[in-house]
Amino acid sequence: MVNVVLGIVEENEKILLIQRERGDFVGLWGIPGGKVEECEHIDEAVKREMLEELGIKLEFKELLGISTEIMHDKNSTSLLYICLLNIDNDEEIKNPEFNYKWFDKNEIMNSNNIIESDKKFIEEFYIKKGLNYLKMDCYRDAEGKYYWR
């Protein structure tokens, strides 16, 4: 099992997403994050990942929820920790390697260019705030596109 942290960064009613450049979702927008390293706490891991991906230091605010995601085509399970982070309004994103953009909630929910599981995490854990655990099963269709149940 892989442990992953995702960091929801909010500012002015918008959420920061990055465009994936490698892996399974190239070209799609998603919540920034990455793997938890050995002997690393979740709050430390998400701050480290944000520094690596965005080039800024963020403050851990709270754990919004946890999800198990099974990628059936890979026979792998990930435990995802979805965290809320505070950004200092004076901070500017400094990592030019990543393409990033601020999205409002409606734009996220209506977009076809955002990773579906990330949309679900944002909807359930951030917008509705109704769940603290979410099971996700990911499959691939005959054309190689991912879908979730």
Q: How do the pLDDT tens digits run along the chain, 149 residues long?
A: 999 999 999 988 899 999 998 888 999 999 999 999 999 999 999 999 999 988 889 999 999 999 999 999 999 999 999 999 998 767 778 777 779 999 999 999 999 999 999 999 999 999 999 899 999 999 999 998 899 98
Residue with structure tokens 């953009």?
101
Q: Going from the N-terminus, what domains does the chain have, and what CATH number goes with each?
A: 2-148 (3.90.79.10)
**Bridge partner residues of 15 (DSSP):** 10, 103
Q: Give the Cα separation of 5 and 94 in Å (integer).
A: 20
Q: Give the Cα separation of 31 and 7 in Å (integer).
A: 6
pTM above 0.75, yes or no: yes
pLDDT for the residue 132: 96
pLDDT for the residue 89: 67
CB neighbourhood size of 16 (10 A): 22
39: tokens are 């002997």
